[in-house]
Structure 1
Amino acid sequence: MHADHAGRTADPVDPTRKARLASRLGGTVAARWFEALYETPLLFAAILDDAGRVLDANQPVVEGCGLERAEVLGRPFWACGWWTPDPELSARLRGWCEAVLRTGEPLRTRSHFFLGDGTRRLVDLVLFRVGDDDGAGYLMVTGLDVTDALATQREREHRVDVQADALHQVAEARQRAIETVRRAEWRAEERLRRLVVVALELLGAETVADLTTIVVDHAVPVLGADGGALVVRQGTDRLRVVVGERLGRQVQAGGDLPYDSPLPAGHTARTGELLLLPDRAAGLAFTPQMAEVYRITERDAWAFLPLRVGTGLLGALAVSWRDEREFAPDEIAVLEAFAAQTAQALDRIQHLRARRESALAAQRLSEALQYSLLTQPPTAALLDIAVRYQPAAHEAKVGGDWYDAFETADGATMLVVGDVTGHDREAVAAMGQIRNLLRGLGYDSGDGPAALLGRLDRALRGLRVGALATAVLGRVERDPEDPPGMRRLRWSNAGHPPPLLRGPDGSVRVLAAHDLLLGVDPDANRRELVVELAEGSTLVLYTDGLVERRDGVLDDGIEVLARRLAEIGDRPAEEVCDLLLRVAPPGHEDDIALLVMGLRPTAPVRAAAGRRPGRGR
């Protein structure tokens, strides 16, 4: 179908206008139909709003019909120049549009229409309603100019009718002609339908392999082709070849070509030149190396089309046929349209991959920073301390969870587990600052946990560390009046999940008392509580990733953790850590920091090069 009658040459489609409409439609179904139909040279295509006004139309339906775009956009479809020369026809079009918008039932019909010079033509018209997620409706209009085809058919029928001396033969010829036209119409409709499906599939391609399957194995067979490949430029020294499955298992599934390869695919990917090789003689004349390609593919005709986006050359699309062929101009135009759509999809895939690789590199850097701050706990004769850290199951997240354990200058042991809000590099950086500040403040001051958390909060404000964090801080120390195996835990909680304490008798206490989190009010009062630790006690500090459930409340998760701690019994801290981590929900969406301290009569001293606190499960 050709829309620019009488030799008219229309201006190219305004990409800015197209982009504005695509932005307005957003990610709706209407947007996907519009994107698939807008650039096609094969049929008229327009999109109307729910009042029947023309939002946009492709080049064949406006400039190709001799109309001015400014006189079409924004006007009711039935009030534009295709119909207005005939008021009755205009009224009929209005009724069709309103019925489809009202009922949602598609309509297909044939109707006369007028070119800009008044020429009367006949169009095969399809109107169908497309809805979006908000319930708004759009009316898609497509059409195929069938004037010439019907005129040809009428002339043929007339010639047959006048041959009265061969009535029987004429009748048979007439029937065959009608069937041919019907089959041609069906093939044209089926081709258009499959091309639209392919265009929509291209929007979902995420890898070059996906793109090859859609274009080479799904799309080009619509045109009668039988296989092909994508050739993608890899910098300035290599070409990556991804072969479609239709070429057969004997063809290598993919590989690299030298950048200066003499093969036609390399030439087109390197120079941007369209190459058509209708037979083996043409291919061998281009380069003798095509002999091997012909041998292993058993395809005699090839077309190599450049993949361009703007001024950038991304590679080449190779399309093959089993038999020799002559390339018709309309076939070349469709192949070039396919190559343009393929190039757009390839450009999107490459940008998506680059963004993912950049995000993954940032993720790994943040994780490395985070792990560098999660050091081994101190070892002591009586205190058995073990730690674990598990990142969230979602790889795109890093968190501000941390644990720490260190000995102070006066011989006490400080224990802390905290969580900075956020899941990004800023949260990791803030976590490092808070951890190091707390270490510096607590090492030689002798202050208790409540005083230390207050000093830390004021330091965060004074040093302009703009972060919110929860933390529970404990100080394990010995009172000279206590028995040798007894210790005291002084602790303070800044908005953090409560610690759990398992006694020697197996009972588990939830140390449930907490104050305001850090970073809100540095002058807030903070409480400090004291609990005695007897030999055989186990203290558990953790972040909410261990107990938080998507469909439950935090208290339920804490209760499950407490029951698990009671069931574990008197075990070394390393074993307790591993067993408690099993409580975490599968695919947990938040990081987990866990610190377990056991008070043992004789705790083994772990070597500094022992098990690294990290991703142990």
Structure 2
Amino acid sequence: MTDETGARHRPVEVDFAAVFTAQPTAYLVMSPDLVIVEANPAYLELLGRTREELVGRYVFDAFPPAPESLDADGHNPLQLSFERARDTGVPDQLPLFRYEVTDLETGRSVPRAWSLISAPVPDEGGRTQLVLQRVEDVSDFLAERERVAEHRAEGTWARLDVLEADLFARSQELRAVLAAQEATARRLAATAQVVLQLADAETVEDVTDILAGAGLSAIGADGGAIALRDDDRGVVHVTMTPSLGTGAQRRFGTIDLDSRLPAAWTARTGETLVHETQAEAEAWSPEMREASEQSGQRSWITVPLTTGGRLIGSLLAGWRVDRAIPAAEVELVQAFAAQCAQALDRLQALTLERRSAERSRQLAEELQRSLLTEPVQPDHGQIAVRYLPATGTAQVGGDWYDAFHQADGSVDLVIGDVVGHDTGAAATMGQLRSLLRGIAVSGGPGPAAVLDTMDTAITQLGLATYATVGMGRLEWTSSGGTRLRWASAGHPPPVVLDAAGRLVVVPQAPGHLMLGVTPTSTRGETVLDLEDGATLLLYTDGLVERPGSDLDAGVAALCEVVTAAAALPLEELCDRVIDQLVDGRAADDVALVAVRLDRSSAGAPGRTPERYTEARATWRGGDPVPAPAEAGLEVELTSLRGLSGVRRQVREFLTSSLGPGSDEDVVDQAVLVIDELASNALRHGSRPAGLHLGDEGTRWVVRVTDSAPGRRPAPAGGRPAGQGGYGLYVVADLTSARGVHYGTDSKVVWAAFDKRPRSS
């Protein structure tokens, strides 16, 4: 069909399986190890076999070579041809090949002559995934040629000259047909590869990249574009292959949907447009003159992108020259467009799903954060909290923390995790949080009694939920100490450090069933006496659980991080724990409550501990960097989560360096210094980053390098210790020398520390 401009419209969908079946030329498809995968009917008829006799068999078991067909070295030329095509990625054509087949009428083997071509079918990485063989029986042609030779010998020259000319013309026609068939086979193979790639596309840009690569190869075009409708704005968004140029992308990246430009016309009407010359294109739309100038293309095929009866856009293929465009090419572009449309439809649905999930996640997070208020600050210490939502859109909701005063001045600490991850879980969390607060402050029952009453209330109120909750109460004793009373409903116990930074075991009290299972559950309490300087961490399982990893291993990693960072101010300790165990990508929600006890209130908010206010560290530029020692440890710093492995290597090196009877305090202090400098490089510097630890006899020297010379170490000053920034003072306390050197593209922060304990 044509319109007034001469443009042709050919809406056709191509079934390539039917094309393969209908091919009059015989084709055999094999795997790289030459096992038969498929054969078309023409091949089966030509060879006198059934599909069941061939598929799944090694090709030379199905067709054993005759001894006389082997070459002088005993090799099968046909097998060598298959292997050359497979290994080189280039089609391989054999000279005339003679092979016997069974005559279906007589049952006898008869010699036949074959023209054979082997072609590789590459995957997206360019490796051969299939071997395609085209088979042509030329026996009759050769017989005719031999008959001509006999007649020539008998002297029938005139007739033979005519016959020879006719045979030559037929041979040329045969060559042209074979060449066309080979081109079609290559494009079919490329199209199959494109289909595989489109299945993995995740963005419109991915689809365009496929079009620019394997797609253009499949359809034989010089450039292409994908145009998607935006009905809300009444425009078409066009994404082009790089071969069309940045000028065309800027000028025609967005066009009106009612434009006569082919991309918009076809996206609006669903008509296929074919313009074989620039003159035809300009006759269709004057704007095509500028389009051709910007893109360098003169002839075009524009086909609709349709899926599920919906017209979502158009696909364009362009060529740099005026050219005749056969119907087969239009059909190929239409087939390619059909595959692109399916991929784009899937991506649009996925985008809508992601947006909906993201809105749900944001709602759950906002609800959750609105309920997670700032904790109270006791007179006898400091409390810090953290909440980190999961990175997965369906994983937000359910975790909470709380800290509030009792009438007698004691402080209740709560950490909980509602089963589920959605807005419903976040809403239920809010109910449980309010319920627990109300029960806890009504008469001041102990933590175990609060949790038991919670179970009864959940049943009576019909909340139909499950949750793990840990609750602790800090009580200030008349003797100047602090007592922790702890009860658990299926929640792990807190991590507790004494004033020296050593782990304190929290025994499990009898009865710790999670909430919501039965209203008659009873729980016991664990009581611990804590000294000034002790640290508590209450956490949810998102901090320690990892897919495929044991929970005990996660808890052990947490304990290792906390003990290594015990000397840090509380806020910095929380940051260190989150950085090294989560590294910004939480698979589940993470809630954390940290407490540091200090009866003198030195750590209370708004006060700066005296030992931090003394300027005992100078981190200026230009300090000479000690040369690396020959005996040393070199480690690449890649992520905060990876620092646990770095700490193990450092500890092993330091312990080995000291030898038998090494001082654990010296090693612990050195690990703390190195961990502080390494984490600073990853948090405040840029990668690549690395660490060198050298042994200089009486001391160690650590050199930490990162790629951000413009980001200088900045010791905190004039603000509360709880707000962090005092890690460099800790380094100064524990080292004998330190400094920083700034280069053009990197900086080196270094510190030296003695192998003997430093006096406090």
1:404 counterpart = 2:381: no
Q: Could you tell me how far 1:305 is from its partner in structure 2?
A: 1.4
TM-score, structure 1 length as denominator? 0.72
Cα offset, 1:552, TM superposition:
4.7
User: Do the aligned residues in 2 keep the contact of 1:274 with 1:304 (CA within 8 Å)?
Assistant: yes
Question: What is the alpha-carbon distance in structure 1 between the residues aligned to residue 515 and residue 190 of structure 2?
Answer: 60
CA distance in structure 2 between the aligned counterparts of 1:569 and 1:329, rounded to whole angstroms: 76
Alignment of 1:403-552 (within 5 A): 403-479=401-477, 482-483=478-479, 485-514=480-509, 515-550=512-547, 552=549
CA shift, 1:178, in A, is 5.3
Q: Looking at both structures, which has the greater relative contact order when contacts are Cα pairs under 8 Å and sequence separation is at least 6?
A: 1
* SS of aligned partner of 1:467: coil
> What are the residue-to-residue correspondences of 1:43-122 with 2, within 5 Å?
43-44=20-21, 93-94=49-50, 96-101=51-56
- Find the counterpart in structure 1 of residue 244 from structure 2: 247
Kindly state the Cα deviation for residue 568 of structure 1 after the two structures are TM-superposed: 3.7
- The answer to whether the Cα contact below 8 Å between 1:542 and 1:593 also exists between their aligned partners in 2 is yes
Deviation at residue 456 of structure 1 after TM alignment: 0.7
TM-score, scaled to structure 2: 0.59
Q: What RMSD in Å do the two structures reach over aligned CA positions?
A: 4.3
- 1:69 corresponds to: none
Whether 2:333 is the aligned partner of 1:335: answer yes
- Residue 185 of structure 1 is matched in structure 2 by 181
Partners in 1 of 2:134 and 2:420 — Cα distance?
Answer: 56
SS of equivalent to 1:492: strand
Deviation by residue 1:540-574 (Cα, 9 ceiling, x = unmatched): 21122333355553334334433444444455432
Structure-to-structure mapping, 1:78-477, within 5 angstroms: 93-94=49-50, 96-101=51-56, 164-165=160-161, 176=172, 179-236=175-232, 237-252=234-249, 255-477=253-475
CA contact (8 A) 2:603 2:721 kept: no
**How far is 1:152 from its partner?**
11
Q: CA deviation at 1:448?
A: 0.7
Of 223-232 and 174-183, deviating more is 174-183
Q: CA deviation at 1:154?
A: 10
Q: Is the 8 A contact 1:471 1:517 kept in 2?
A: yes
Match of 1:579 among 576, 581, 587: 576
Q: Secondary structure at the match of 2:19?
A: coil
Partner Cα separation in structure 2 for residue 325 and residue 357 of structure 1: 45
- Where 1:44 maps in the other structure, the secondary structure is helix
Give 1:3's aligned residue: none
Q: 1:384 to 1:150 in 2, by over 3 A?
A: farther
Deviation at residue 216 of structure 1 after TM alignment: 4.9
SS in structure 1 of the partner of residue 473 of structure 2 = strand
Query: Cα distance, 1:340 vs. partner?
Result: 2.3
Against the structure 1 CA distance between its residues 153 and 359, is the aligned structure 2 distance closer, same or farther, given a 3 Å change threshold?
farther
Gaps of 5+ in 2: 1-11, 25-37, 64-98, 105-114, 118-129, 152-157, 607-719, 724-760
CA contact (8 A) 2:416 2:540 kept: yes
* Residue 370 of structure 1: how far off its partner (Å): 1.7
Amino acid at match of 2:543: L
Question: SS state of the match for residue 493, structure 2?
Answer: coil
Contact kept? 2:191, 2:336, Cα under 8 Å: no
What is the DSSP-based 3-state SS (H/G/I as helix, E as strand, rest coil) of the residue aligned with 2:437? Answer: helix
Mapped to 1, the partners of 2:45 and 2:281 lie a distance apart of 54
How far 1:387 moved relative to its partner?
A: 0.7
Query: Which whole-Å deviations, capped at 9, do the CAs of 1:355-410 have from their partners, x for residues lacking one?
Result: 11211221122121222221110123223111112233545422422111011344
2:188–2:218 contact (8 Å) kept in structure 1: no
Structure 1 residue 351 displacement after superposition: 1.0
Offset from partner CA, 1:404-438 (integer Å, 9 cap, x none) = 10113443211011122233333322222211211
Query: 1:473·1:493 contact (CA, 8 Å) conserved in 2?
Result: yes
- What secondary structure, in the 3-state scheme, does the structure 1 residue paired with 2:248 have? coil
Matches within 5 A, 1:538-617: 538-550=535-547, 552-569=549-566, 572-584=569-581, 586=583, 587-600=585-598, 601-603=600-602, 606=605
> Mean Cα displacement is larger for which, 586-595 or 231-240?
586-595
Contact 1:549 1:585 in 2 (8 A): no
Equivalence for 1:23? none
CA contact under 8 A between 2:470 and 2:489: conserved in structure 1?
Answer: yes
User: Partner amino acid for 1:478?
Assistant: W
SS in 1 for 2:374: coil
Identity %: 38
Alignment partner of 1:476: what SS?
strand
3-state SS in 2 of match to 1:532: strand
1:131 corresponds to: none
The whole-number CA distance in structure 2 between the counterparts of 1:396 and 1:157 is 77
- Provide the C-alpha distance between the structure 2 equivalents of 1:211 and 1:547, rounded to a whole number of angstroms: 39
Contact 1:392 1:590 in 2 (8 A): yes
CA distance in 1, matches of 2:102, 2:238: 48
Q: After TM superposition, give the deviation of residue 249 of structure 1 in Å.
A: 4.5
When residues 154 and 320 of structure 1 are mapped into structure 2, their CA distance, relative to the original with a 3 A threshold, is farther
- Amino acid in structure 2 at the alignment position of 1:100: V
Check whether the contact 1:498–1:510 (CA below 8 A) recurs between aligned residues: no
Amino acid at match of 1:412: S
Q: Write the letter of the residue equivalent to 2:297.
A: R
Question: For residues 426 and 258 of structure 1, what CA distance do their matches in structure 2 show?
Answer: 43
Q: Match of 1:427, SS? A: helix
Gaps of 5+ in 1: 1-11, 14-36, 46-59, 62-76, 114-123, 127-139
SS of 2:200's equivalent? coil
Instruction: Provide the C-alpha distance between the structure 2 equivalents of 1:525 and 1:267, rounded to a whole number of angstroms.
Output: 73
Kindly provide the amino acid, as one letter, of the partner of residue 234 in structure 1.
D
Change (3 A) 1:310 1:507: closer
Number of equivalences = 514
- Measure the CA separation in 2 of the matches of 1:558 and 1:374: 24
Could you say what secondary structure the match of 1:498 adopts?
A: coil
Contact kept, 8 Å, 1:43 with 1:144, in 2: the verdict is: no
Q: One-letter code of the match for 1:344? A: Q
* 1:435 partner letter: R
Q: Work out the CA distance in 2 between the residues paired with 1:507 and 1:268.
A: 73
One-letter amino acid of the counterpart of residue 20, structure 2: L
Which one-letter code corresponds to 2:280 in the other structure? A
Secondary structure of the 1:42 match is helix
Task: State the SS of the aligned residue for 1:517.
Answer: coil
1:159-190 CA distances to partner (integer Å, 9 max, x unpaired)? 99985237987787676555444433332322
Instruction: Give the drift of 1:228.
Output: 1.8
Query: Which has the higher Rg, Structure 1 or Structure 2?
Result: 2
**Pair 1:42 & 2:19 matched:** yes
TM-superposed deviation, 1:348: 1.5
Question: Secondary structure in 2 aligned to 1:414?
Answer: strand
